[in-house]
Amino acid sequence: MELKGVYTAIVTPFSGGKLDLKALARLVEIQIKAGVDGIVPVGTTGESPTLSFEEHIKVIERVIDTANSRCTIIAGTGANSTDEAIYLTNEAKKAGADATLQVTPYYNKPTPEGLYRHFSAVADKCGLPVVLYNVPGRCGIPIPVETIVRLSKNRNIVAVKEAGGSVERVSAILDLCDITVLSGDDSLTIPMMAVGATGVVSVVSNLIPGELKEMVDAFASGDISKAQKLHMKYFPLFRDMFVEANPIPIKTAMAIRGLIKEEFRLPMCPISAKGREVVIAAMKKSGI
């Protein structure tokens, strides 16, 4: 499958401690109307670690049902247990997901061989296209480039979301194998596309989906000047939506705009007074 453009790592709205599936459906409609290429439910931004398996699957099902084949759905179904990742991925497949986002197993820090066997097992036993998710800041270890090269030979492993903060790593991956790379950092979308990435799995597009799509499409079509201007206009958001742990700032900004309730699940908690000031300042500076 071809993955390019803007894929929104959508937040999970809560109300009174429970999933707010009506609000989630509204958010999906906003994203689709803005023209995003895809939606990624229950990733890090969707507070996946705080959801039960039942809730996890409900979120994926609601996003798929609401989208109704109008954009690509890449379901976040990774885990640090291979059996759990396979279970969740099979459930996402049953629900109609187009692909799965598979995060590096966190906390248990597997060896490169363990990573290779883990991702291969998910790809082989589930049959959904797999997007690898390299995010060492969250997981404690990277997926080594050499391991990505090995995994790229599996026809079900189609892409890697790079959230390690390194543009050079994108070049290294593309130098050694044929796999799609998506930026996992909003602020590095344009730099990574400059060396061969085809788009972004975005946090900030929860707030400004149409603007992110405009920026990515401008660069992809060769209008570098326009893309650079949009990058600089929204850079305060790219930077400051991570002033505290994601998704605290982005959900705060969305609540300020009336899109969702400002509600989290522990250990995520409301933003600090100082963090709120930073978020509001970034929104004002970016003109939203």
Q: Which residues are catalytic?
A: 133, 161
For position 152, what pLDDT does the model report?
Answer: 98
Q: What is the pLDDT of residue 19?
A: 98
Q: Which two tokens stand for residue 22?
A: 């009506």
Q: What is the pLDDT of residue 87?
A: 98
Dump pLDDT digits (tens) for 62-98. 999 999 999 999 999 999 999 999 999 999 999 999 9
Q: What does CATH list as the number for 5-221?
A: 3.20.20.70
On whether the pTM is more than 0.85, the answer is yes
| 119-178 tens-digit pLDDT | 999 999 999 999 999 999 999 999 999 999 999 999 999 999 999 999 999 999 999 999
Per-residue confidence (pLDDT) for residue 249, from 0 to 100: 98
Please give the torsion angle defined by the CA atoms of residues 134, 139, 140 and 142, in that order, rounded to the nearest 10 degrees: -10
Domain edges within the chain: 5-221
Beta bridge partners of 35: none
Structure confidence at residue 23 as a pLDDT band (50, 70, 90): very high
SS (HEC) of 87-143: HHHHHHHHHCCCEEEEECCCCCCCCHHHHHHHHHHHHHHHCCCEEEEECHHHHCCCC
Per-residue pLDDT, 146: 98
Q: What is the pLDDT of residue 138?
A: 92
Q: 161 in helix, strand or coil?
A: strand
Q: Are 179 and 148 in contact (CB under 8 A)?
A: yes
Kind of pairing between the strands at 14-15 and 18-19: antiparallel
Query: What pLDDT is recorded for position 240?
Result: 98
The per-residue pLDDT for 8 is: 98
Q: Which tens digit of pLDDT belongs to each residue from 210-264?
A: 999 999 999 999 999 999 999 999 999 999 999 999 999 999 999 999 999 999 9
